[in-house]
Amino acid sequence: MRTGAPTSRALGLWMTVLAIGALVVGACAADDSGPDGAEPGLVDACPDPVEGFAVSADADGNPLHRPTSGQAGSAGPDPRSLSGQSTAEISAEIQPVATDDLTPALPVQVASCDGETVEITDTSRILAVDLYGTLGEIVFSLGLGEHVVGRDTSTGFRAAEHLPVVTPGGHDLNAEAVLDLNPSVVLTDTSIGPPEVQQQLRDAGIPVVFFDGTRTIDGVPGQIRAVAGALGVPEAGEALVQRTQDEIADAMAWSPTDGEPLRIAFLYTRGGAVQLLAGPGSGADAMIQAIGAVDVGTDIGLDRPFTQITSEALINARPELIIMMTKGLESIGGIDGLSKIPGVAQTPAGENQRVVDMDDTQLLSFGPRTGQTIAALAEAVYSP
């Protein structure tokens, strides 16, 4: 499964767990009697990914337009001629989708990803928490931000900054903090826990819905629809899906079509203790492919989302550019510290000190701002 990344001190531990393959993500336990795997009349919190989501389509699935790859990317300088550090940035603001009526149609029956059927009757006090900030971003983008009563550490956009944090350890929920907020519904997934806390919330009578913990570009529309359906605003969900889809398609116009694709490595670091190279299923591979480049971890045959960095692997991978999270780069002392990681200095990226960093809360969240993230990343890579 592709996963995003946490944004606090717990990041190192979490990614280490991913790297050794010890993380078990809960699977959707809904049956297959409905069109999306849930029973008729139930909102499915674990819908299947929509392949080819980046291509806009009408209600019948017919493509409306495809991204005109290469326009912006080809117009810029040769990315291999660039050197130094660039930062990819998106707006700190959340723009709610425009809808005529945002009155929730309740009650809603939801097929939660842990196999339970959950009834939601009240969305006046919403708590949406996961490791990546995705669920909170969706709720705010649907226009329901004024009903959100708390946040996780990854929900870092401006509209949510004032909310109390209920995950002080990054991916550890604090039961007392949640109960003090008296939420009418909790939206979550298995990326945070411990599960005993989520069960404690249910035992207290709070509806708790588990969504899919996977983070991929193809999974964005299903995640949006699932959250919107659970909160009784499916029309707003469809409008948000369409807007997000169009932004992703437009962002992919940055992808160059001429010449050999750029070779990019995503490195995840937290000081000297955690230094990992991303590979297939990391989420970073999808973002790199979205801007028309080659994910070197996948290309050299890594078989896990994150693998401990070795000099041999990096030299063999020959990355021409390195992408990192901003705090991760800072944790090793910036560009100078990066050059001390074994193998980096012997790569084309290391020789040119060519690094793109992006805020931890944005890069791998795969939420409604995915198109903005792809565009910002492409601009920093191809036309800084």
Mean pLDDT of the chain, nearest integer: 85
**Does residue 67 have a cis bond before it (omega within 30 degrees)?**
no
Residues 74, 357, 320, CA angle at the centre, nearest 5°? 50
Min mean pLDDT across 64-68, 255-259, 341-345 is at: 64-68
Residue 339 has pLDDT above 70, yes or no: yes
Is there a contact between 35 and 50 (Cβ–Cβ < 8 Å)? Answer: no
Q: What is the pLDDT of residues 4-53, one digit of tens each?
A: 344 433 444 344 333 333 332 333 333 333 334 566 689 999 999 886 65
Residue 3 has pLDDT above 80, yes or no: no
Min mean pLDDT across 26-40, 208-222, 270-284 is at: 26-40
- The domain defined by 57-87+254-382 folds into Rossmann fold (3.40.50)
Picking from 248, 211, 245, the residue whose alpha carbon sits closest to that of residue 231 is 211
Residue 346 has pLDDT above 80, yes or no: yes
Q: What is the pLDDT of residue 52?
A: 60
Q: What is the pLDDT of residue 160?
A: 96
Match 């499964």 to its residue by tokens. Answer: 1
Residues 288, 294, 300, CA angle at the centre, nearest 5°? 120
Residue 140 has pLDDT above 90, yes or no: yes
pTM of the complete model: 0.84
CA R_g for the chain: 20
| Environment class of 57 (CB within 10 Å of its CB; exposed 0-12, middle 13-18, buried 19+) | middle
Once rounded to an integer, what is the mean pLDDT over residues 93-114?
A: 95
User: What backbone phi and psi angles, to 5 degrees, belong to 364?
Assistant: -125, 30
Cα separation of 43 and 226, whole Å? 7
**Of 27 and 233, more confident:** 233
Residue 80 has pLDDT above 50, yes or no: yes
Once rounded to an integer, what is the mean pLDDT over residues 139-147?
A: 98
Could you tell me the residue ranges of all domains in the chain? Answer: 11-50+105-250, 57-87+254-382
Q: What is the pLDDT of residue 136?
A: 98
**Of 99 and 104, more confident:** 104
**Of 21 and 356, more confident:** 356
Residue 134 has pLDDT above 60, yes or no: yes
Q: What is the pLDDT of residue 259?
A: 82
Is there a contact between 126 and 185 (Cβ–Cβ < 8 Å)? Answer: yes
Q: What is the pLDDT of residue 127?
A: 98
Residue 123 has pLDDT above 80, yes or no: yes
Per-residue confidence at 254, pLDDT binned at 50, 70, 90?
confident
Picking from 306, 314, 313, the residue whose alpha carbon sits closest to that of residue 278 is 306
Q: What is the pLDDT of residue 370?
A: 96
Cβ atoms < 10 Å from Cβ of 203: 9
Architecture of domain 11-50+105-250: 3-Layer(aba) Sandwich (3.40)
Per-residue confidence at 360, pLDDT binned at 50, 70, 90?
confident
Residue 379 has pLDDT above 80, yes or no: yes
